[in-house]
Amino acid sequence: MPATRHLRSVPAGPLTDAADQPRVLLVDDIPGEAANFRVAFGAGLTSVRSVAELERQLAAGVEWEVAFVDFNLSSRSTTGLSALLALARQRPRTRLVSYSQFVENGRVLFATAARHWLGARAVLDKTQNDPYTLRHYATALTAGIDPSPLQWRYRLQRAYLIDAVLPDLSWVERWRALDRAAGDVTVAAALLQLKATHLRSFKDRATNAVNEFNAAFFDLPDRGSSRNKKGILGTFAAQHTSFLTAPDLPDALAHRDLTAAAR
């Protein structure tokens, strides 16, 4: 992914349909979300509510300078991961932005995966989507500047930590079983039809990965080799259920692994 400079001062420009208006994509299932984007970008905006709609736009050859992608698309088969994946494959020059309310379940993992696996250039919380900020983001990104809040820029320098949380596809089912088992590895093993001893290494590695991730992204002190691994893992799984159970998470992981193998 091309290096992205950090934001210092970038004029937002007029909120009008100027000739140089950037072409912007919004992927969000809530119709009202597009209102501020229309004010900011006018005729330069393409708004879609599903991955199917996005695929039709891609098939029609539509291109964009910047794409804002939400996580939850109210679908049983796709999330914003699928949208980002399609854009990364078919529109590699489009600057991607993970766009969500990051206090919601699983959204921090989404932002991390978007950056580290799918090349997202920036992150924007939905609560900050006024027209001026939206124009500000588009202007900065087309200039090669990262307009993300300073705290997020620092956090995402350690986006690679998500690889320890999900080192391979087998961990997806393990996390899902652990969530159902409220962090109890013995119960999770039974759900996976495995012996508890088979998950002993997973428990230790997952606890270390969670401690590092929580320290980097939630400013929680690293608890080291705590005895309360059930509590640590159960809490993490519950806080990130929507991401860890996303139907297209395996596809995103497969893309990560193929990309890494090709390097």
CATH code at position 120: 3.40.50.2300
Per the CB < 8 A criterion, the answer to whether 43 and 15 are in contact is: no
State the residue range of the domain holding 139: 5-157
Mean pLDDT to the nearest integer, 177-188: 93
Report the distance separating Cα 163 and Cα 240, nearest Å: 15
Q: Which of 106, 122, 157 corresponds to the end of one domain?
A: 157
pLDDT at 128: 95
- Residue 19, pLDDT score: 57
Ranked by mean pLDDT, the top range of 107-111, 197-201, 202-206, 228-232 is 107-111
Domain boundary among 157, 183, 217: 157
Q: Per-residue confidence at 178, pLDDT binned at 50, 70, 90?
A: very high
CA neighbor of 112 nearest in space, from 103, 100, 120: 120
* Beta-bridge partner residues of 6: 146
Residues 208 and 152 in one domain: no
81 vs 110: CA distance, rounded Å:
8
Residue that terminates a domain, selected from 132, 157, 182: 157
pLDDT, tens digit, 9 for 90 and up, residues 124-177: 999 999 999 999 999 999 999 999 999 999 999 999 999 999 999 999 999 999
- If asked whether residues 16 and 143 sit together in one domain, one would say yes
User: For the residues of the chain, what is the DSSP string, one character each?
Assistant: ----EEPS------SS--TTPPPEEEE-S-GGGHHHHHHHHGGGEEEESSHHHHHHHHHTT---SEEEE-S--S-SS--HHHHHHHHHHH-TTSEEEEEE-TTSTTHHHHHHHHHHTT---EEEEGGG--HHHHHHHHHHHHTTEE-S-HHHHHHHTTGGGHHHHSSSTHHHHHHHHHHHTTT-HHHHHHHTT--GGGGHHHHHHHHHHHHHHHHHHS-PPP--S-S-HHHHHHHHHHHTHHHHT-TTHHHHHHHHHHHHHH-
33, 6 contact by CB (below 8 A)? no
Do residues 149 and 185 share a domain?
Answer: no
Judgement on whether residues 152 and 27 belong to the same structural domain of the protein = yes
Q: What is the pLDDT of residue 67?
A: 98
Residues 19 and 126 in one domain: yes
- 83 and 127 inside one domain: yes
Q: Does the structure show a pLDDT above 80 at 9? A: no
Do residues 209 and 126 share a domain?
A: no
For residue 213, what pLDDT is reported? 97
59 and 138 assigned to the same domain: yes
**169 and 258 belong to one structural domain:** yes
Task: Please indicate whether residue 242 or residue 200 has the higher confidence score (pLDDT).
Answer: 242
Predicted pLDDT of residue 162: 98
Q: 0.85 exceeded by the pTM?
A: yes
| Predicted local distance difference test score (pLDDT) of residue 12 | 45
pLDDT band at 226 (very low <50, low <70, confident <90, very high): low
> Is the separation of the CB atoms in 156 and 115 below 8 Å?
yes
How far apart (Å, rounded) are the C-alpha atoms in residues 132 and 89?
30
At 44-89, the pLDDT tens digits run 999 999 999 999 999 999 999 999 999 999 999 999 999 999 999 9
Residues 143 and 166 in one domain: no
**Beta-strand pair 66-69/145-146:** unpaired
Check whether 240 has a pLDDT greater than 50.
Answer: yes
**What's the confidence (pLDDT) of residue 106?**
95
Report percent pLDDT > 90 for the chain. Answer: 83
Residue 123 and residue 204 in one domain: no
Q: Are residues 188 and 75 in the same domain?
A: no
What is the tally of structural domains in the chain? 2
What count of Cα atoms within 13 Å lies in the side-chain half-sphere of residue 105? 13
